[in-house]
Amino acid sequence: MPAPHLPDVVAEIAAEMRARPDRGEVATYIPELGRVDTNQFGLAVALGDGSIVCGGDCDAAFSIQSVSKVFTLTLALGFAGDRLWNRVGREPSGSRFNSIVQLEHERGVPRNPFINAGAIAVTDHILSGHQPREALGEIMRFMQFLASDDTIFIDKAVAASEERTGFNNRALANFMKGFGVLENPVEYVLGVYFHHCAIAMNCRQLARAGSFLAHRGKHPETGFSVVTPERAKRINAIMLTCGHYDGSGEFAYRVGLPGKSGVGGGILAIVPGKASVAVWSPGLDAAGNSHLGRIALETLTRRMGWSIFGADSDPI
């Protein structure tokens, strides 16, 4: 059987996803996200030679939300090294992304850097020693550098929408502050957190931004070393085990790649040694992860033989 041709596979998946009636439900707890049309689907696969194969609405900007947590974790590890693990764990939570229950049992130390509490602790670390505006500037410059694109922006309407309704995150942050886990004022930390979640990117930009994780920490276009191979490996491991919250086991079972989802409907998935994949479809499943995004990635890994756990015997 001939090797599957990636551009054909991407085009087929975009057409198949566009035709499906099951779209999932948009997140309404951030009112601005509740207005996004679920009939959209985009897919971009960034390869090691710098080329990007795209399908569907891959140039439409969407709110990356929790996908930003991969990049804030990378930045914070750059500042703190392994000391960061004193403030946040790296075990799967098995609970919803905004759960507060576990946090009490674990004395305010979040289970991992991808649940909301963990990402808020990571943001606090980036903020220390800076003004909120400077910390946000660091995060934005990092994203723009990784994507080789300085047009990436923060959607202020989404940030303001979450700022108005972020009661749950305020509860998590206050709880951690009570346990002495946060160094900075809660409102400063949340201001930076809400704004980095509100970064808007398209699939093409996001796939490119994640490429260093597929290539042993190196930016494939410039050859610049973003992180060590060991750190890239470890970030991928945390994406695999924690990137989809209580849906992480199901994602590993079906897709078989390190991945990070966001409630805007985006998912970044890494095929180590081969590709960085960004997919977006705004409708979510019950665990808050993109419904069609997950199905599209499952189809892609099956047809390309790309799961880290081995290829299906019969690709395509």
Tell me which residues in 232-291 interact with ligand DON (CB under 6 A).
261-263, 288-289
Structure tokens at 206: 């996001």
Return d(Cα 193, Cα 255) in angstroms, integer: 29
Catalytic residues: 66, 69, 193, 245, 263
Number of H helices, E strands in the chain: 12, 8
Structure tokens at 207: 């796939």
The CB-of-105 to ligand DON minimum distance in angstroms stands at: 21
The CB-of-266 to ligand DON minimum distance in angstroms stands at: 9
Is residue 66 a contact point for ligand DON (CB under 6 A)? yes
Interface residue with ligand DON, options 45, 197, 200, 300 (CB under 6 A): 197
Is residue 211 a contact point for ligand DON (CB under 6 A)? no
Q: In terms of CB distance, is 159 or 207 closer to ligand DON?
A: 159
Structure tokens at 84: 């960061």
Residue 209, sorted as left (phi over 0), alpha (psi -120 to 50) or beta, turns out to be alpha
Q: Which residues pair with 187 in a beta bridge?
A: none
Is residue 116 a contact point for ligand DON (CB under 6 A)? yes
The CB-of-2 to ligand DON minimum distance in angstroms stands at: 37
Q: In terms of CB distance, is 72 or 289 closer to ligand DON?
A: 289
Q: How is 105-132 classified by DSSP, letter by letter?
A: HTTT--S-SSSHHHHHHHHHHHHTTS-H
Interface residue with ligand DON, options 65, 74, 144, 299 (CB under 6 A): 65
The CB-of-197 to ligand DON minimum distance in angstroms stands at: 4
- Give, to the nearest 10 degrees, the angle between helix 68-80 and helix 203-214: 40
**Which residues lie near ligand DON (CB under 6 A)?**
65-66, 97-98, 116, 162, 169, 197, 261-263, 288-289
